[in-house]
Chain A
Amino acid sequence: MIEVVNLTKSFKKVKAVNDVNLYIEPGEIVGLLGPNGAGKSTTIAMVSTLIQPTAGDILLQQKSVLQHPIALRNVLGVVPQDIALYEELTAQENLEFFGSIHKIPKRKLKERIETVLQQIGLQQELKKPVKHYSGGMKRRLNIGVALLHEPQYLIMDEPTVGIDPQSRNYILETVKKLNKEANTAIIYTSHYMEEVEYLCDRIYIMDKGQIIATGTKEEIKAILSSEKTIELKLEKHSKPFVEELLQQGVLSNIQVKESHISFNVAKHTDFLPIVLPLCETHGIVLKSFHVQEPTLEDVFLHLTGRALRN
């Protein structure tokens, strides 16, 4: 098990990571969800022993790795947010190079490369320089390189950024398969809640350097389970109507987009007796309404008052 205890990282001006606690057990997939600049990559860099924390500790089987990172590095694979590959070298050469620096013996390395290529579904154009690859192929190879030394734990930093939906699905399937077949534990970082929701057993939601929510997706959604989201469609926009709606006090998170209005109310509140009289007073026709179950997006909105992505 890898544990992160009260981890903090301050740069000159910003506190990029602020008192973060998290853990990952063998074989599970954990999501780290947060908007741009939340501190995900900084957290990951510390967990991978690449930068020293300002405060806090990282433990592998209860032993601190800050002074002796080797034990952790041996069982850890890291997929950086950037494409960390030699663009001038071919896929084959990249794999051979990164395999060799992991001191994998030649014959073993040949086998490993075959296996990895199968795992990431990259079996053609191995003799082409990486710079001629598509974005999706580069992303896949970026993952493959981290798998060569058969890590027990894999940290992936936004592995689907900037690629087409097809490649993205392929990568999500690869992650799932990797976890199922090789029993690799995975920390999956993203700002796409669908990805995290689809893949992860447990989720950490991060914002402004802090973990603001944690648990299984059911547990996290339960934060909002006392509430439901109501969407109204009006005939036309009306400012006095919205203002009076706000004064009711039982609503939260009101969002107005012209004639669309959405808000949260406590689960058992009957909202129609509130809304309908208001419509009448202001002479507005309610065209439709819709009651919605919460998503992670709603949880984030609820916790921070901001949308996950803008």
Chain B
Amino acid sequence: MFLALIQKQLKLIWRSPQELLILLGMPIALISIIGFALGSLLDGNSEAIQIKVAFAMHEDENVALETFVQDKGETFGIGRNMLPSLQQMLPIATLRKEVFDNEEMTSFLQVTTITPQEIAKAKQDDVYDAIIEVPSGFTEQFLLSIFEQDTAPVLPIYLNDDKEIATTVVKRIVDTYQYQFTLMNALAEQGMIEADFTIPIAKVSSSIETVNGQQPVSVSAYYSFSMGVMFIMYWVGTIAGQAFLEKDKHIFDRILLANINPAIYLVAIIISTVFLAMLQMLILFIFAHLVFDVSYGPWSLYIVTTFMIALVVGGLTAVLSAINYKFNSVSASNLFGSSIVAILALLGGSFFNLSSIMPDIARIGYFTPNGAALQSYLTIQQGGNLAQIMPYLSTLGVLAIMFFVCAFLVFPKRGGIA
């Protein structure tokens, strides 16, 4: 009997193409659009995003080169006449030429040179999306790595992990730059580019860390989660609307006449919604994995988070169904589907991360069901464990219980015309 109620609900959803389109088609389309748009950003086709990068040097590359030639020139057989050629292959010069001064890059990359003393303040200020730091001894280490086969120097990059999208872009740029740099050297080694002399292989490895020492989240992953937690909320309006239709068409009367307790009916609504919502997220996650190569760490944490947000969605659906029944109108759940979801999505950070623009509002967002779930997913993506997502899970748990209680209090105990 109980199963029949749930089975019926699944069939109804399966038979309504428009609902399926909103619940599955739309998020997939949006993730794709955003994913590809941000992907092409790296080819310089988009000006949608402005990324602010701070660039700090602890040493002047050219001065360091001259010092190097003066001190160790004899040892490695380098004369002053080779200075111009060497200058051209210095990594920072290349970085400036290839990236910072690149016309395509400058359309969305805004580089500010700061002094090393300003680094600490820059990290705190939240102004920059990324800070690239050239440590002292970087040039010498680089030259040594060429002439002595020493280890390649490290270029530290600090990413502001409050600005996921931007930092991901920066990481991609640096990776590309590094790739090109290595490639150029490899080509030189093969004698495929003209040089005054053959340059031994050199590598610059950039060590990327976020300010909190976490891994950054890729753009596609970010939008997969944020679209997921937004579209999961659409179940509320959809299912509560269907539930009202059952009242309006006196199907609910038939259910009551079959001696089914209204509470059981409500529980069936909740369980079907939880099931459908989890299924939706599963499909989105698989899609993100197959198409955008989003990878997931500990799946159990994802399941727990998904289950909790689905519970909240189930609870909200029950509340809206109860309100629809009480006021004999579908306007409450329609309003939810048309406006409240969008507001929640905005607050919860589904469109863009609010924390850098309006930190106070962003904090409210953590208490929206979708916001809490999104934070939980992002934390797991960054290598967080159960303890770290606990605050978000608790928020979701409290919300779910609250909604269940409200729903059962409001839901009418009888059917009929009144």
Q: Which residues of A are in contact with B by a Cβ distance under 8 Å?
A: 11, 41-42, 45, 48-52, 70, 73-74, 76, 78, 80-86, 88-89, 93, 96-98, 100-103, 129, 145-146, 149
Which of B12, B259, B417 is the one whose CB lies under 8 Å from A88?
B12
Q: Besides A50-B256, A89-B8, A101-B1, 12 other CB < 8 A contacts?
A: A41-B417, A45-B417, A50-B416, A50-B417, A73-B257, A82-B249, A84-B249, A86-B251, A88-B16, A96-B4, A98-B254, A101-B5
B249 and A78 contact, CB distance less than 8 A: no
B359 CB, min distance to chain A CBs, angstroms = 47
Which of A74, A89, A98 is the one whose CB lies under 8 Å from B15?
A89
Chain A residues with CB under 8 Å of B121's CB are none
B387 within 8 A of A: no
B258 within 8 A of A: yes
A-B contact pairs, 17 of them (CB 8 A): A11-B418, A45-B417, A48-B416, A52-B414, A70-B259, A73-B257, A76-B257, A83-B249, A84-B251, A88-B11, A88-B15, A89-B8, A89-B11, A89-B15, A101-B1, A101-B254, A103-B1
B60 CB, min distance to chain A CBs, angstroms = 73
Interface residues of B in 251-291 (CB under 8 A from A): 251, 253-260
Chain B residues with CB under 8 Å of A45's CB are 416-418
Asked, given contacts A89-B11, A93-B11, A103-B1, whether A74 binds B259 with beta carbons under 8 Å apart, the answer is yes
State the CA gap A83–B253 with chains docked (Å). Answer: 12
A76 CB, min distance to chain B CBs, angstroms = 7
A111 CB, min distance to chain B CBs, angstroms = 18
A85 and B251 contact, CB distance less than 8 A: yes
B156 within 8 A of A: no
Q: Which residues of B are in contact with A by a Cβ distance under 8 Å?
A: 1, 3-5, 7-8, 11-12, 15-16, 249-251, 253-260, 414-418
B261 CB, min distance to chain A CBs, angstroms = 11
A100 and B4 contact, CB distance less than 8 A: yes
State the CA gap A307–B166 with chains docked (Å). Answer: 78
Q: A82, A85, A86: which has the most chain B beta carbons within 10 Å?
A: A86
A160 CB, min distance to chain B CBs, angstroms = 17
Which of B258, B259, B415 is the one whose CB lies under 8 Å from A98?
B258
State the CA gap A49–B414 with chains docked (Å). Answer: 9
Q: Nearest residue in B to A146 (C-beta to C-beta)?
A: B254
B4 and A101 contact, CB distance less than 8 A: yes
Which of B7, B253, B414 is the one whose CB lies under 8 Å from A78?
B253
Q: Nearest residue in B to A131 (C-beta to C-beta)?
A: B15
Chain B residues with CB under 8 Å of A81's CB are 250
Chain A residues with CB under 8 Å of B417's CB are 41-42, 45, 50-51
Per CB-CB distance, the 8 closest pairs between chain A and chain B, nearest first, are A50-B416, A100-B4, A51-B416, A88-B15, A84-B250, A101-B258, A80-B250, A45-B416
Chain B residues with CB under 8 Å of A146's CB are 254
A50 and B253 contact, CB distance less than 8 A: yes
State the CA gap A86–B156 with chains docked (Å). Answer: 63
Q: Nearest residue in A to B254 (C-beta to C-beta)?
A: A84
State the CA gap A80–B416 with chains docked (Å). Answer: 10
B15 CB, min distance to chain A CBs, angstroms = 4
B205 CB, min distance to chain A CBs, angstroms = 59
Q: Nearest residue in A to B255 (C-beta to C-beta)?
A: A101
B12 and A89 contact, CB distance less than 8 A: yes
A50 and B414 contact, CB distance less than 8 A: yes
Chain A residues with CB under 8 Å of B257's CB are 48-50, 73, 76, 78
State the CA gap A291–B201 with chains docked (Å). Answer: 121
State the CA gap A132–B3 with chains docked (Å). Answer: 26
Which of B250, B260, B415, B416 is the one whose CB lies under 8 Å from A101?
B260
Chain A residues with CB under 8 Å of B251's CB are 84-86
Q: Nearest residue in B to A70 (C-beta to C-beta)?
A: B259
B198 CB, min distance to chain A CBs, angstroms = 74
B159 CB, min distance to chain A CBs, angstroms = 50
Q: Nearest residue in B to A45 (C-beta to C-beta)?
A: B416
State the CA gap A88–B257 with chains docked (Å). Answer: 22
Q: A50, A89, A145: which has the most chain B beta carbons within 10 Å?
A: A50
Chain A residues with CB under 8 Å of B253's CB are 48, 50, 78, 80, 84
State the CA gap A170–B263 with chains docked (Å). Answer: 39
Chain A residues with CB under 8 Å of B3's CB are 100
Chain B residues with CB under 8 Å of A93's CB are 11
Chain A residues with CB under 8 Å of B415's CB are 50-51
State the CA gap A118–B257 with chains docked (Å). Answer: 24
State the CA gap A74–B260 with chains docked (Å). Answer: 12
State the CA gap A73–B253 with chains docked (Å). Answer: 11
Q: B3, B7, B417: which has the most chain A beta carbons within 10 Å?
A: B417
Chain A residues with CB under 8 Å of B15's CB are 88-89, 129
